Amino acid sequence: MPRSSDTLWDIALAEVSKKNENEDNVEARERSVFFLGNKSGGKTTIILRFLDRDEISKPTLALEYTFGRRARGHSTPKDIAHFWELGGGTSLSDLAQIPITVNNIRSLSVVLVLDLSKPNELWPCMEKLLSVTKNQINKTINELAKKDSIKVNEIKQRTWKMLQKDHPNFESEKRKVICKTLRFVAHYYGASLLFFSNKSESTISKMRTVLNNLAFGTDRSKTISVEYNKPLFVPAGMDSLSQIGSPPAAEVELRKISARNPIDLWKKVYERLFPCESTREIKEILDPAKDPRYAEPEVDAMRTQKDQELEHFRRNASKLWKEMEFDIRGK
């Protein structure tokens, strides 16, 4: 409160000092975004485009990390976004325990990237990765609850507050089935749904909007596109069961399907048109390395070494991550 004896310059100086003090106390906000999905599905490409890095994407080995920074205002610290990318499709899904931790669970977003050109692999890949991610999140939440139950309640309330009560919660028939199914799954998990192509500027722009919200907390988009002959874009909280409709099957067929819950019903309807093939294909990919018919001493020795290094990485990465200190703010 200015004193009666203060001059105009005294008041101005006090205001400037107060402003500078407030800016000095503003800490850089940090968020984490965890990408996972189909092998060679485009995760690296999305991250590189978002960060405006003119690089040729390379296959992701195990789990890779990068970061981005964004200025919030003049003379304030830059916000930091940690980007984690899981390679190998579902084969290395146990590494999800590294980016999903008690330390970042309150500022973590998960981005599931699915390859629409492989519809028969879509559901099993999605189901496996969502299951692993959900289990790790629940494990982390339970661990946090033992230390601070109030923070856990805050996380849950903030999540539900973002969604509305009914969160409104190939033009070929095959394309329609894929689109309706993905809309239901996204709605079921309270997630955003975005079709992305590196050759479409429209989808690239929408991708940037979504990732800016997840990584830096910018405003969420209120645009929605649900036409099946166009790339879908449905921000979390803007779809509804009434808009999505029932699973794409005749009512008579639906009554014959035995399902434990809604997600199981959609899965069975989807797999009638796109039978699961990924489990068999994954086994066929992994088994030849141990098949004596293809033995190559030098190659096998190197493979054994790399397997041991990967196992060592799996055991110690979580511990190392907790001890790591990223020297980012000073850069």
Q: What is the pLDDT of residue 327?
A: 47
Distance CA 281, CA 263 (A): 24
Q: Is the residue at 294 inside a domain?
A: no
> Does residue 247 sit in helix, strand or coil?
coil
Q: Is the residue at 37 inside a domain?
A: yes
Q: Is the residue at 170 inside a domain?
A: no
Q: Is the residue at 114 inside a domain?
A: yes
Q: Is the residue at 2 inside a domain?
A: no
Nearest Cα neighbor of 80 from 46, 33, 21, 25 is 33
Q: How far is CA 50 from CA 4, 46, 116, 143, 260, in A?
A: 54, 6, 21, 33, 39
**Phi and psi torsions of 82, nearest 5°:** -95, 125
Which two structure tokens, joined as six digits, stand for 300?
A: 């096998």
Q: Is the residue at 307 inside a domain?
A: no
Q: Is the residue at 65 inside a domain?
A: yes
Q: How far is CA 244 from CA 133, 166, 180, 184, 228, in A?
A: 25, 12, 6, 7, 12
Residues in the chain: 331
Q: What is the pLDDT of residue 252?
A: 67
pLDDT digits (tens, 9 = 90+) for 95-137: 888 999 888 888 899 999 999 988 999 999 999 999 999 999 9
Number of domains, the chain: 1
User: Which of the two residues, 28 and 1, has the higher pLDDT score?
Assistant: 28
Q: Is the residue at 239 inside a domain?
A: no
Q: By residue range, what is the domain housing residue 113?
A: 28-161
Nearest Cα neighbor of 200 from 223, 226, 233 is 233
Q: What is the pLDDT of residue 282?
A: 45
Give the dihedral sign, CA 278/196/186/94.
positive
Q: Is the pLDDT of residue 239 over 50?
A: yes
Q: What is the pLDDT of residue 4?
A: 58
- Look up the CATH number of the domain holding residue 139: 3.40.50.300
pLDDT digits (tens, 9 = 90+) for 23-80: 444 555 899 999 999 888 899 999 999 999 888 888 888 889 999 998 877 667 788 9
Q: What is the pLDDT of residue 78?
A: 84
- Residue 168 banded pLDDT, cuts 50, 70, 90: very low
- Cα-Cα end-to-end distance for the chain: 38
Q: What is the pLDDT of residue 149?
A: 74
> Does residue 191 sit in helix, strand or coil?
coil
